[in-house]
Amino acid sequence: RNKYLLPSADETSSKIIIGTLPTLPVAKSMMGPGLLAQLVVEKICDHLPVHRQQQRLERDGIKLPYSTLNDGFAKTAALITPIYRALVTEVLNADYLQADETSVPVLDKDKKGSTHRGYYWLYQDNVNKLVVFDYQPGRGREGPSEMLKDFYGTLQTDAYSAYNSIVDTNNISLIHCLAHARRYFADAIYSDRERAEYVLGQLQLVYQIERDSRALNHDNEKRAALRQKHSLPILQKLGIWMEDQYKQVLPQSPIGKSLAYSIKRWDKLCAFVYDGKLHPDNNAAERSIRATVIGRKNYLFAGSHESAKRIAMLYSLIATCKLHNINPSLWLKHVLTVINDHPINRIKELLPHIWITKQK
């Protein structure tokens, strides 16, 4: 900041003036919005652990202690916490969500010499292209039950039993993922090729109808009508065939298990045909959760339960940026520049999908 001598008629009363210091993302820190955004994006989006970022900076002649970089990452997560909460509210206001979960090793002070298996739970609104990750120490129903307590609508999941008790107590309609059912038959093809290939062929016809609908850019109403005209008869016929074939195979054989899985859940697997906004599978959510799997292989574990919660928040916002084709570095740098001066009652304006509309 430039300093100036303020002229005065009385030379004895002259004083030095200096420009006001701009608001910094982190008080008393020289780490600016650009560097903080880079730290987050390189770890969450590019899966580069902090210590590797430190090594890369040192090659450019910039020596920063690991503790300083790690502290900058943590404080950035703290700054965007209100934005994450606004994102959670947006997602839970949807009437159709996909859910999935994946494990993450977490260092635990109570388990010296080993890691605790925590879980990232994902909730994705495919209609508005919004993603929320929620870290929980376990895979029990407590996490999704708390998260979805105010959600009303359709929830699409794999067949994990934790979701069943949630829909029993909440106003939630549960449907399942057709791709999960298909994988059982793909795995069974070497034990009973004829039956497995028949099922895969019928499901391929259903997915071809989905591709045709996307190519024609159908709205939800037209897509539902197309599904009920063409997909529903295929699925009804296939369901009857499965029940008949199950009587002819060994229950514990690969094809027997595949048939049993689908027969038990057939209504929930076929529910998508009645509503054009629903997807036949959970593949969109699985694509979003893939980033955590790649990151886990690189940074190996989260340093603590609190660290895992911070990472979940950042994964949520970066994944939402990705679905809206937003450069996460530009978005996060802007957020960190203005967030300390931004009114809390307008924090929703900083959500990626709302921010990008204002840039246009």
pLDDT bucket at 12, cuts 50 / 70 / 90: low
- The residue type found at 265 is R
**272-293: per-residue pLDDT in tens?**
999 999 999 999 999 999 888 8
* Mean pLDDT, rounded, for 3-27: 78
* Mean pLDDT, rounded, for 157-184: 86
pLDDT at 169: 67
Report the alpha-carbon distance of residue 314 to residue 320 in Å, rounded.
10
Report the alpha-carbon distance of residue 347 to residue 328 in Å, rounded.
18
Q: Is the Cα dihedral 291, 162, 280, 357 positive or negative?
A: negative
Which residue in 170, 143, 175 sits closest to 158, CA to CA?
175
DSSP annotation of 345:
G
What's the chain's average pLDDT? 90
For residue 11, what is the enclosing H or E element?
none
Give how far Cα 337 sits from Cα of 26, 52, 231, 322, Å.
Answer: 10, 25, 51, 21
pLDDT at 114: 79
CA triplet 182, 186, 187: central angle to 5 degrees?
120
pLDDT value at 13 more than 80: no
Q: Is residue 140 within 8 Å of residue 82, measured between CB atoms?
A: no
Beta bridge partners of 131: 124
pLDDT value at 8 more than 80: no
* Mean pLDDT, rounded, for 225-242: 96
pLDDT at 41: 93
* Mean pLDDT, rounded, for 241-250: 94
Listing DSSP states for 154-187 in one string gives: EEEE-S-THHHHHHHHTTEEEEE-HHHHHHHHHH
pLDDT at 309: 93
**74-120: per-residue pLDDT in tens?**
999 999 999 999 999 999 999 999 999 999 989 877 777 778 889 99
Domains of the chain: 81-175+284-328 (3.30.420.10), 178-274 (no CATH)
Which position has the higher pLDDT, 32 or 111?
32
pLDDT at 11: 63
pLDDT bucket at 24, cuts 50 / 70 / 90: confident
Q: Find the length of the chain.
A: 360
pLDDT at 29: 79
pLDDT bucket at 4, cuts 50 / 70 / 90: confident
Which residue's structure tokens are 């090594």?
Answer: 55
By the 10 Å C-beta count (0-12 exposed, 13-18 middle, 19+ buried), 141 is classed as middle
pLDDT at 98: 95
pLDDT at 166: 80
pLDDT value at 22 more than 80: no
